């Protein structure tokens, strides 16, 4: 009987008093400064403490033997120390600042982000749609950022001396084959996809990640909304058309449907236009997004379809009369993507996009049909090896078929062609943080092009160094390649990929209230496509061209620096010379302007419940070719000025009235002159000034949301 009693006594005694070990020490950062308030404890026990003002800590424990001690502190890497508790006294513990911390150095030069990641966001989620002059087109809003040259009559993105085709557009990491809506007769093209499908975007004007290929100048990747907040119906009534949308939300699934009809007919009754419009732009479009939540992940399926038609009479200088031109466009695009956490450290992103685009162009007796079918598939992984080392790797595949047929209807003369090709890419990219202040990104991309039967490597590197709490510098170098347009591949499938090298230096300053960045760049092009004009066809198609572009981009944004005012100023200086296409000599291409300035302001007036925005844009003269003078592309157009205004009035939480006017002072802009192809009897080529179809553009819209939650409105749709 004695034995169990002792047993009990020992147990009871021990559980309260026996072997109380004191654990003590000090917690420091890498500069030997004490860390105050770090949480320090033995794993799976209650025993622990936090550090004092001098970084010291001390607590007692009754556990014995091998234990794991854990030290955590906000913004620092969690540290674990294993050992026998009896040895855990007078410890010196050093914590490393986490490279994942919010204030760590960023290794993304040249990238502008919008969205919810406040660490790198330069634009706020709504900026894309509340910027005056953007007319609800996210592409137009991006043209207020430095590094872009705004070509108002074209509408597409031109980045740092590159052609519009050199900037590739992606949705959720998957290629968009025909991102712009079709237009003719000098009406600017618009982004095809409605901005309110996206929660954020990443726009890179150089030195981008090895995850992206087939782009010489820029990348725009837009991310669709992961999860709609609630079930709701949206209605819009606009001076240019009607729209309706509905989102239904269930527990793990959600479905959004939207449809719109755009018709410019009533608009032209009121606003005069220079364009002889026989049938103004009319288009139907519809979009569907289905999202399904899975364990630790999400599947999204997005499909959009559009039909549009426009018919105008366009003056032809050679014929000295109007020509009847029409275009019918059919477009379908689908995008399916999945993101999922595979393990604690590895996530997968995979999906595919498919697109079909058909254009039917009629120019009196000539009919041109072109059809594009494309597929892009992608499998990518991200592994966070530890707090200092991240690897991204994966593979992508693209198939594209272009069919082209040009007919002269009266003689039934047909010229046609088909080109098919695949491009397979592989990439690996690592981010390594030496510490919170210094980081390097090393990337390598390989691509195999089926037409060339060649595998080509493009290495890329970015270095970033934080100077102090608010500023950092970074430098980047990279090689980028892109296949030539299909219209040239019809002639010769052996044309090599064009190539560009980017050299960048970036300085970035950021506080809560303002962002300032300046970036110098130098781009070297080689293997650019060249040809000579034959009598009927192109001849001597080759890769003999080259060029260079260099310049400086400045961006300054401040919010509340002036009370209630949010503004940004972008300035871009660009020198661009190339010899490509059929250029007889080095010249600055017509889409390239030396000075580019944008000033965007936004102010909310609480008293009148209105957000008012003003945008001013300026660019210096555009080059154009005058065959009546010597030299090539020597002439310069007038400077471009545009002042736009928008006013959003919140009638109630669910009703908004939106009014906007582009170029309301009516600056007389022109984009150079176009010339006839044959000189008149005096040997002079006839000419015509290229002017926008309308000097001003007005828009009025009324937007309404029907939902259970009465606070949601459509401000983010504007």
Residues that bind other proteins (CB under 8 A): 1, 4, 7-8, 11-12, 15, 37, 39, 41, 43-46, 48, 50, 70, 72, 74-75, 101-103, 116, 118, 121, 124-126, 228-230, 249, 512, 559-560, 566, 606, 609, 650, 652-653, 708-712, 715-716
Q: What is the CA radius of gyration of the chain?
A: 30
Closest CA to 235 of 249, 246, 227: 246
Cβ 248 to other proteins shortest distance, Å: 13
Q: What is the distance between the alpha carbons of residues 551 and 560, in angstroms, rounded to a whole number?
A: 30
Cβ 468 to other proteins shortest distance, Å: 14
Comparison of 102 and 342: residue with beta carbon closer to other proteins: 102
The three-class DSSP label of residue 486 is helix
Comparison of 632 and 702: residue with beta carbon closer to other proteins: 702
Q: Residue 151: is it exposed, middle or buried by C-beta count within 10 angstroms (0-12/13-18/19+)?
A: buried
Comparison of 606 and 677: residue with beta carbon closer to other proteins: 606
Q: What is the distance between the alpha carbons of residues 443 and 481, in angstroms, rounded to a whole number?
A: 15
The DSSP string of 397-435 is EEEEEEEEEEEETTTTEEEEEEEEEEEEEEEEEEEEESS
Which long-range contacts (C-beta less than 8 Å, at least 24 apart) are formed by 627-634? 627/675, 627/679, 627/685, 628/675, 628/684, 628/685, 628/687, 632/583, 632/584, 632/585, 632/587, 633/583, 633/587, 633/588, 633/589, 633/590
Comparison of 448 and 647: residue with beta carbon closer to other proteins: 647
Cβ 511 to other proteins shortest distance, Å: 9
Comparison of 48 and 446: residue with beta carbon closer to other proteins: 48
Comparison of 175 and 300: residue with beta carbon closer to other proteins: 300
Comparison of 53 and 681: residue with beta carbon closer to other proteins: 53
Cβ 428 to other proteins shortest distance, Å: 29
Cβ 466 to other proteins shortest distance, Å: 14
Q: What is the distance between the alpha carbons of residues 219 and 212, in angstroms, rounded to a whole number?
A: 8
Contacts of 384 (CB under 8 A, 6+ apart): 345, 346, 390
Cβ 487 to other proteins shortest distance, Å: 42
Comparison of 64 and 688: residue with beta carbon closer to other proteins: 64
Cβ 17 to other proteins shortest distance, Å: 13
Closest CA to 327 of 380, 280, 373, 273: 280
Cβ 131 to other proteins shortest distance, Å: 15
Comparison of 123 and 176: residue with beta carbon closer to other proteins: 123
Instruction: Provide the residue count of the chain.
Output: 718
Comparison of 90 and 560: residue with beta carbon closer to other proteins: 560
Cβ 97 to other proteins shortest distance, Å: 12
Q: What is the distance between the alpha carbons of residues 366 and 323, in angstroms, rounded to a whole number?
A: 11
* Sign of the dihedral through C-alpha 130, 135, 137, 141: negative
Q: What is the distance between the alpha carbons of residues 338 and 223, in angstroms, rounded to a whole number?
A: 12
Comparison of 114 and 390: residue with beta carbon closer to other proteins: 114
* Secondary structure element (H or E) that encloses residue 138, with its range: helix 138-142
Comparison of 229 and 242: residue with beta carbon closer to other proteins: 229
Q: What is the distance between the alpha carbons of residues 456 and 458, in angstroms, rounded to a whole number?
A: 7
With beta carbons less than 8 A apart as the criterion, state whether 146 and 596 touch: yes
Cβ 499 to other proteins shortest distance, Å: 40
Comparison of 11 and 237: residue with beta carbon closer to other proteins: 11
What ranges make up the beta strands (E) of 434-537?
A: 438-449, 454-466, 471-482, 498-510, 514-533
Cβ 105 to other proteins shortest distance, Å: 15
Cβ 136 to other proteins shortest distance, Å: 16
With beta carbons less than 8 A apart as the criterion, state whether 35 and 56 touch: no
* Secondary structure element (H or E) that encloses residue 511, with its range: none
Cβ 45 to other proteins shortest distance, Å: 6
């Amino acid at each position: 009987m004695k034995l169990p009693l002792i047993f009990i006594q020992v147990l009871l005694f021990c559980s309260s008093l026996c072997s109380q070990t004191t654990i003590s020490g000090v917690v420091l950062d890498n500069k030997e400064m004490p860390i105050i308030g770090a949480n320090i404890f033995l794993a799976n026990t209650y025993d622990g403490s936090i550090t004092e003002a001098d970084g010291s800590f001390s607590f007692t424990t009754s556990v014995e033997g091998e234990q794991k001690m854990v030290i955590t502190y906000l913004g620092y890497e969690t540290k674990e120390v294993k050992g026998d508790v009896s040895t855990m006294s007078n410890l010196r513990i050093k914590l490393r600042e986490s490279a994942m911390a919010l204030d760590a150095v960023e290794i993304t030069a040249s990238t502008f982000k919008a969205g919810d990641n406040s660490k790198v966001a330069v634009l706020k989620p709504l900026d894309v749609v509340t910027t005056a002059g953007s007319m609800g087109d996210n592409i137009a809003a991006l043209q207020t950022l430095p590094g872009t040259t705004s070509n108002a009559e074209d509408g597409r993105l031109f980045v740092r001396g590159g052609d519009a085709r050199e900037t590739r557009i992606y949705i959720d990491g998957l290629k968009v084959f025909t991102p712009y809506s079709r237009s003719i007769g000098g009406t600017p093209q618009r982004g095809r996809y409605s901005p309110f499908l996206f929660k954020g975007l990443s726009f890179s004007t150089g030195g981008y990640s090895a995850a992206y290929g087939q782009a010489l100048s820029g990348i725009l990747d837009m991310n669709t909304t992961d999860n709609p907040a609630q079930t709701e119906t949206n209605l819009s009534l606009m001076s240019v058309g009607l729209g309706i949308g509905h989102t239904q939300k269930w527990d793990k699934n959600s479905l959004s449907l939207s449809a719109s009809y755009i018709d410019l007919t009533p608009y032209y009754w009121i606003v005069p236009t220079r364009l002889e419009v026989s049938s103004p732009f009319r288009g139907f479009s519809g979009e569907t997004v289905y999202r399904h939540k899975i364990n630790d992940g999400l599947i999204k399926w997005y499909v959009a379809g559009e039909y549009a038609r426009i018919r105008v009479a366009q003056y032809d200088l050679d014929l000295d009369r109007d020509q009847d031109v029409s275009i019918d466009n059919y477009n379908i695009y689908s995008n399916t993507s999945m993101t999922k956490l595979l393990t604690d450290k590895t996530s997968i992103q995979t999906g595919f996009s498919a697109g079909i685009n058909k254009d039917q162009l009629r120019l009196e007796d000539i009919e041109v049909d072109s059809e594009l079918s494309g597929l892009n598939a992608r499998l990518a992984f991200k592994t966070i090896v530890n707090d200092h080392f991240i690897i991204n790797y994966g593979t992508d595949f693209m198939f594209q078929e272009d069919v082209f047929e040009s007919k002269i209807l009266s003689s039934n003369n047909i010229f046609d062609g088909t080109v098919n090709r695949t491009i397979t890419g592989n990439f690996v990219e690592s981010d390594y943080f030496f510490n919170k202040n210094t980081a390097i990104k090393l990337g390598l991309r390989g691509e195999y092009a089926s037409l060339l039967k060649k595998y080509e490597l493009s290495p890329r590197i970015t270095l970033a160094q934080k100077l102090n709490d608010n500023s950092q510098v970074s430098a980047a170098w990279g090689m980028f390649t892109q296949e030539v347009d299909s219209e040239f591949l019809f002639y010769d499938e052996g044309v090599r990929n064009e190539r560009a090298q980017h050299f960048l230096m970036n300085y970035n300053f950021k506080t809560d209230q303002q962002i300032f960045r300046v970036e110098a760049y130098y781009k070297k092009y080689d293997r650019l496509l060249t040809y000579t004009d034959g009598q009927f066809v192109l001849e001597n198609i080759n890769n003999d061209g080259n060029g260079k572009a260099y310049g400086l981009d400045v961006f300054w944004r401040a919010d509340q620096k002036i009370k209630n005012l949010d503004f940004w100023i972008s300035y871009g200086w660009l020198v661009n010379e190339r010899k490509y296409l059929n250029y007889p000599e080095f010249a600055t291409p017509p889409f390239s302007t030396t000075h580019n300035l944008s000033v965007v302001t936004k102010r909310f007036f609480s008293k009148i419940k209105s957000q008012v925005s003003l945008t001013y844009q300026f660019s210096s003269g555009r080059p154009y070719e005058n065959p009546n003078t010597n030299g090539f592309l020597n002439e310069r157009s007038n400077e471009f000025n545009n002042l736009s205004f928008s006013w959003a009035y919140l009638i109630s939480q669910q009703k908004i009235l939106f009014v906007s006017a582009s170029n309301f002072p009516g600056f007389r802009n022109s984009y150079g002159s176009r010339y006839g192809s044959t000189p008149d009897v005096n040997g002079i080529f006839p000419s015509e000034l290229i002017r926008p179809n309308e000097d001003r553009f007005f828009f009025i819209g009324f937007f309404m949301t029907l939902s259970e939650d009465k606070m949601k409105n459509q401000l983010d749709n504007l």
